[in-house]
Structure 1
Amino acid sequence: MALKATIYKATVNVADMDRNVYLDASLTLARHPSETEERLMLRLLAWLVNADERLTFTRGLSAEDEPEIWLMNDHNGIEVWVELGLPDERRIKKACNRSARVFLYTYTGRAAQIWWQQNQNKLTQQDNLTIRFLDDEQLKALTQLASRSMTLQATMQDGAIWLSDDRHHLELHFTDWLINGRLT
């Protein structure tokens, strides 16, 4: 018997001062049996920092030809492709060829650093690719917000992400490794 996904519900209020995006959304996240709670919360954070009414979660781990999150245009073209983790460089190249903008959110400290050293030269050739890293300490703090039913407020300004629920208040900062194909 196959294990089923665990469903998480998130009601979010987003105020992105940098992009002038303000919205409320009710999100449903399916946590694959092999997905950690840390990865699930990073996926939610990636949605929040790229928030748009048309941004949707895909089948994720269950689909090789889809990202974790995407934004499709009216002609079924991919505007935004969001990946998590440490994917193969060929997968990132494919995403960059299929989408106007690609965002990769990396985590797991030491492994991510090694992955970046090995792939940096190849990935800087992609001018529509942004790679952001969230360190282990911040990811652990983010995971404290996880529950099957969440109500979160997210404010983004000048690279800072303030995220809160009724018990926790976090300030998170990604380390940008690559922005639109340029090293930072």
Structure 2
Amino acid sequence: MALKATIYKAAVNIADMDRNFFYDANLTLAQHPSETEQRMMLRLLAWICHANERLTFTRGLSAEDEPEIWLKNDHNGIELWVELGLPDEKRLKKACNQSRNVVLYAYGERAAKVWWSQVQNKVSQYSNLSVRYIDDELLTQLVSFGQRGMVLQATLQDGAIWLSDAQNNVEIHFHEWLDGGWKQAEL
């Protein structure tokens, strides 16, 4: 018998001061049996970073031809392709060819550094690709928010995300990977 996904509900109040965007979202996340809590919470955080009425989770791990999250336009074209992890260069090339903007959220410090050294020269040609990294310590803190029923407040401003619930709060900064290394990402 196949294992079933674990369902999480998240009520998220978003105040994106940089985009002057304020939004209340009620999201349903299905955690695939092979997906870690860290990855699921990073997926939620990535959604928060790009929040939009039309931004949707896809089938994710169950679909090789789709990203984790995407934003489609009125003509069914992909405006934003959000990927998680450390994909191979072919997948990033496909994403960059199919979407106006591609954002990759990388995690896993040791593996990420090795991965970047292997793909850096190949993916640097894609001008529509951004690579954001979250360090292991922040990712661990993010997992503390993971409840089957979450009520979260997210404020985004000047490249920082302040995430809180009734018990926890954390300030998150992504680092963007450039040719020479990391810099603080602008959301």
TM range (shorter): over 0.9
Matched residues in 2 for 1:88 and 1:18: separation?
32
1:174 maps to what in 2? 174
2:99 maps to what in 1? 99
1:24 equivalenced with 2:24 (yes/no): yes
Q: RMSD across aligned C-alpha pairs, in angstroms?
A: 1.2
- Post-superposition shift, 1:122? 1.0
Q: Is the 8 A contact 1:38 1:139 kept in 2?
A: yes
Secondary structure class of the residue paired with 2:38: helix
1:109 maps to what in 2? 109
- Post-superposition shift, 1:138? 0.2
Matched residues in 2 for 1:21 and 1:177: separation?
26
Q: Give identity over the alignment, percent.
A: 68
TM-score normalised by length of structure 2:
0.94
Matched residues in 1 for 2:178 and 2:151: separation?
31
Which residue type is aligned with residue 133 of structure 2?
A: F
Secondary structure class of the residue paired with 1:52: coil
TM-score normalised by length of structure 1:
0.96
Matched residues in 1 for 2:154 and 2:178: separation?
23
Gap regions ≥5 residues in structure 1: none
Matched length? 181
Secondary structure class of the residue paired with 1:131: strand
Matched residues in 1 for 2:178 and 2:86: separation?
14
Gap regions ≥5 residues in structure 2: none
Change (3 A) 1:54 1:127: same
Secondary structure class of the residue paired with 1:70: strand
1:73 maps to what in 2? 73
